[in-house]
Amino acid sequence: EVQLQASGGGLVQAGGSLRLSCIASGFTFEDYTIGWFRQAPGKEREGVSCITVHDGTTRYADSVDDRFTISSDNAKNTVYLQMNNLKPKDTAVYFCAGDRRGEERGLEAFLFLGSLGALEYWGKGTLVTVSS
C-alpha cells in the first residue's frame, strides 16, 4: 500500500521555525520526485518545494524565498521541509506528494501539476499556523 505520511505541523509565532516530515512507503523512493504543497483557507493549492530523490536536485517557489529548505534521507524514505522565519502568510495545510515522472517533466512542471492536484501520490496534510 502506497503511503505518504506528513507530520510536524503546529502553531508557531512569526519568526519561528518548524520542520515537516514526509515518510514514504509502498513505492521505490529513489525513483520519485517528492514535493510539498500548501493550501490556505479560501486559496488555491500552491507548490512550495520539491526534490528529485536520487540526486537531490531541488526547486522552490518564489514565495518562500530562502527561508525553506527541502532535503531527503533516503535511508529513512523521508523528505523534510525545514521552515525558518515563518510568517503569518505561511499559514496553511501542508501536503506532500510524489510522482515518478517528476524528473522527466521537470521540477517546475512538478510544482505546477501539483498545484492542480495532478500528481501520482498524495499524503494527508499537516496544519501549520503562524501567529503574528
What pLDDT score does 5 carry?
96
Show the cell assigned to 127: 496544519
Share of the chain above pLDDT 90, in %: 96
**Which stretches of the chain drop beneath a pLDDT of 50?**
none
What pLDDT score does 65 carry?
74
Euclidean distance between CA atoms 20 and 92, whole angstroms: 13
Show the cell assigned to 108: 517546475
Euclidean distance between CA atoms 120 and 38, whole angstroms: 17
